[in-house]
Amino acid sequence: MLDFLFGQLVATHATFDVVTLSDRTTQALAEDPWLAAGYALLGLAGVGGFLSLLGMALIYVERKVAAHFQCRLGPMRVGWHGMLQSVADAIKLLLKEDIIPDRADRVLFLIAPVFSIIATTLGLILIPMSPSLQVVDLNIGVIFISAVSSFGVLGILLAGWSSNNKWSLLGAMRAGAQFISYEISVTLSLLVVTLFAGSLQLSEIVQSQQDGWWIWRGHIVGLVAFFVFLIASTAELNRPPFDLPEAESELTGGFHTEYSGLRFSFFFLAEFINMFIASALAATLFLGGWMPFHIGGLHTFNGLMDLIPPGLWFAGKTTFIIFLIMWVRWTFPRLRVDQLMRLEWKFLLPVGFINLFAAATLVITKLYFFPW
């Protein structure tokens, strides 16, 4: 119908060829080893640089968003509108004394933050930011990410245990219970999309949304899965209203009470990058990732949408979800431990299971939109 109205501007929308950095490396390896090495180095440096820059940027954004929710300006002094505040903070954290409590388990205490940051980095390399901007594209991408993200809880548990502080231990125990519980809901909602897309590979999941994003193509099921994912991953990120492992007003600092300086900043950074990963994952799975907004069959409309580069689509969607998570943080109070568990086991988990069955039924009966 729209085609008729607008005329046949673009016959079919462009198809996207996914070329990841690891693909480039393997291709180049046969012809030019130096180029391959260059690609590999680019990948490493890219991820490292992206990790720290993104962390700083997110912290800045968080502070600004929080400030404007609270009728104040936030950082304004360092650089234009406080742009360099994060840099100043990073320098401060680097220069701070690294205190290790006397009776702490030294080895575990030192390792714990590294666990957190490694888990985060591993998750980051899988995110498809645009057809040509993805480091690795594993064929088990979804499972890999959920496996790696549960690896991060190990760092928190170790931190709480090794600090030899009762508050830290309480925080760590809370974290353990919380992460294990909410992991299930996250996985259940990931499975919904996997069922729809018929693949675990992130790039293929994105490609499968060529006729529309799963959040609306899977109508109610997609929407429910999206919200379950958003709630459960907020809990996994340990951000308010689920920030019980930290719970400043209850446990002083929770698992990182005893940490200072660089090691504290590792936890801090990991938390913010995890927020990015969760948002990027939500965007990729439910909002099409870098896939522009398409409606199956409307070629003209889809062609117009293709004019906006995929990278921008990805950035926009991810930013939107990050903003949602921040919005929730600065509005809601914190749940209590038993309420948190009740929410997962008595509400989200049954909803997730029912939703998964509904999704399976939809896939079999092809009742979702554009099932060709």
> Where on the chain is the footprint of another protein (CB under 8 A)?
66, 69-72, 166-167, 170, 174, 240-241, 243-244, 247-252, 330-339
CB of 242 to another protein, least distance (A): 10
Q: Which residues pair with 233 in a beta bridge?
A: none
Closer CB to another protein, residue 127 or residue 169?
169
Which of 352, 322, 361 lies closest to 183 in space, CA to CA?
Answer: 352
Q: Please report how close the Cβ of residue 246 comes to another protein at its closest, in angstroms.
A: 10
> Which among 25, 3, 1, 23 has a CA at the least distance from the CA of 13?
3
Q: Which amino acid is at 101?
A: P
| Whether the Cβ atoms of residue 272 and residue 58 lie closer than 8 Å to each other | yes
**Nearest CA-CA partner of 17 in 27, 7, 6, 31:** 27
> 36 or 177: whose CB is closer to another protein?
177
Count CA within 13 A, CB hemisphere, residue 281.
35
Complex with another protein: residue 31 or 338, whichever CB lies closer: 338
Q: Rounded to whole angstroms, how far apart are CA atoms 81 and 86?
A: 12
Q: CB of 318: closest distance to another protein in angstroms? A: 24
Q: How far is the CB of 249 from another protein (least distance, A)?
A: 4
Among 109, 15, 72, 107, CA closest to 299: 15
DSSP state of 242: S
Q: Which is nearer to another protein, 211 or 236 (CB)?
A: 236
- HEC readout, 105-159: CHHHHHHHHHHHHHHHHHHHCCCCCECCECCCCCCCHHHHHHHHHHHHHHHHHHH
Q: How far is the CB of 16 from another protein (least distance, A)?
A: 41
Closer to another protein by Cβ: residue 332 or 353: 332
Q: What is the nearest approach in angstroms of another protein to the Cβ of residue 187?
A: 25
State in angstroms the smallest separation of the CB of 250 from another protein: 5
Measured distance CA(313)–CA(318) in Å, rounded: 8
Q: Tell me, rounded to whole angstroms, the distance of Cα 73 from its chain centroid.
A: 27
- Alpha helices by DSSP H, listed for 163-286, are 166-197, 202-207, 214-217, 219-236, 248-251, 261-286
Q: How far is the CB of 169 from another protein (least distance, A)?
A: 10
Burial state string for 5-23 with b = 16 or more CB within 10 A and e = fewer than 16: eeeeeeeebeebebebbbe
CB nearer to another protein: pick between 17 and 102: 102
Nearer to another protein, 72 or 77 (CB): 72
Q: With respect to another protein, which residue has the nearer C-beta, 59 or 170?
A: 170
Residue closer to another protein, measured from CB, 131 or 171? 171
User: What is the nearest approach in angstroms of another protein to the Cβ of residue 131?
Assistant: 40
* 182, 236 Cβ separation under 8 angstroms: yes
